[in-house]
Amino acid sequence: MSYTLAQLSEYVNGTLQGDKTKQIDGLGTINSATSNQLAFIANPKYLSALDTTSAGAVLVKNRLQANQIKNAIIVSDPYLAFAKLSALFDVSAPSWSGIHARAVVSESAFIGQNVVISPNAVIEDNVTLEDNVVIGVGCVIGANVVIGSGTKLNANVTLYHGVLIGENCIIHSGAVIGADGFGFAPTQGSWQKIHQLGSVRIGNNVEIGANTTIDRGAIEDTRIGNGVIIDNQVQIAHNVVVGNHTAIAGCAAIAGSTKIGNNCTIAGGVGVIGHLNIVDGVHITAMSLVSKSILVSGSYSSGTALDSTDKWKRSVARLRRIDEMAKTVAQLEKQINKLN
């Protein structure tokens, strides 16, 4: 596929400077793009690369940057424009259409128009696949699942019974949605399973990464809002609620019944314990442990920063003495107050 610079500029509502007939057949970085590819400059530290890049054109933020190269598209946000243009060069569409002969589809399933069901996929009873849904190779769609129009499941996704997926979602390989939550009642040194009677409801325009797991609710549903993006290998436990347009990075784990607001960011490796409330607009930095509710928006961090091992050991040793040191300081304050 190939587009002229004029077509690409119009697509992102940009201002073209240079050869409007120049053909672009791909995207690349500012350092690796070829003469037929489009690159972008979003980080100022790469501005010097404008003098040496081989890119056929570059997305830039202003005319001063555009003047450094032969062909440029000026936009207010080059990174966002690059993201939009990536859709034009996406080649991930399936190589077949319709229902493959090696798919297993229940007679009671409702299949909309232009649906793709790939080899070895299993569609169980009373499933609803709305128009333009794509089911990848080896997916298992449990009974009574509903998948909204335009949603795509990549290979080997498993949706347990009764899961509801919105429109225009993307679910990557190995994701499991609707497995039982970790619910057990202690009994005489053992455990009694609590059967998980809820489901999972996922909104529109949600993207879920590879090998991520979202557990079904114990009684009420686990709920993921519209526009949420979830990275690979994330664990979301039963009855969690994630608000609209929140982003959760890789290897984060959210324990049961915690509520996360709209437009939050949960960075990689964050742990959030259960039954907490996190309000809108909260940003939690990488590897933090959230052990209490966050009721004021803003950025939050926990843990100790990386250091050389010997310095880290000394810091930990001092940390262990904090309680003792606090008592000593309190005693000294009392003595000073007496002297005063």
Q: What is the pLDDT of residues 262-309, one digit of tens each?
A: 999 999 999 999 999 999 999 999 999 999 999 999 999 998 788 899
pTM over 0.85: yes
pLDDT tens for residues 225-245?
999 999 999 999 999 999 999
Active site residue 245: no
Query: CA 175, 280, 300 angle in degrees (round to 5)?
Result: 85
Q: Which of 238, 245, 275, 283 is catalytic?
A: 238
Q: Which residues partner with 42 through β-bridges?
A: none
Q: What tens digit of pLDDT does each residue of 216-229 get?
A: 999 999 999 999 99
Integer Cα distance of 229 and 242 in angstroms: 10
- The enclosing H or E element of 329 equals helix 322-339
**Please, are residues 30 and 39 in contact by the beta-carbon 8 Å criterion?**
yes
Rounded-to-integer distance, Cα 246 and Cα 54, Å: 37
Cβ(178)–Cβ(198) below 8 Å: no
Angstrom distance (rounded) from CA 162 to CA 199: 6
DSSP 138-186: T-EE-TT-EE-TT-EE-TT-EE-TT-EE-SS-EE-TT-EEEEPP--EEE
CATH H-level superfamily of 3-89: MurE/MurF, N-terminal domain (3.40.1390.10)
Architecture of domain 104-300: 3 Solenoid (2.160)
Name the nearest CA neighbour of 172 among 213, 200, 209, 124: 209
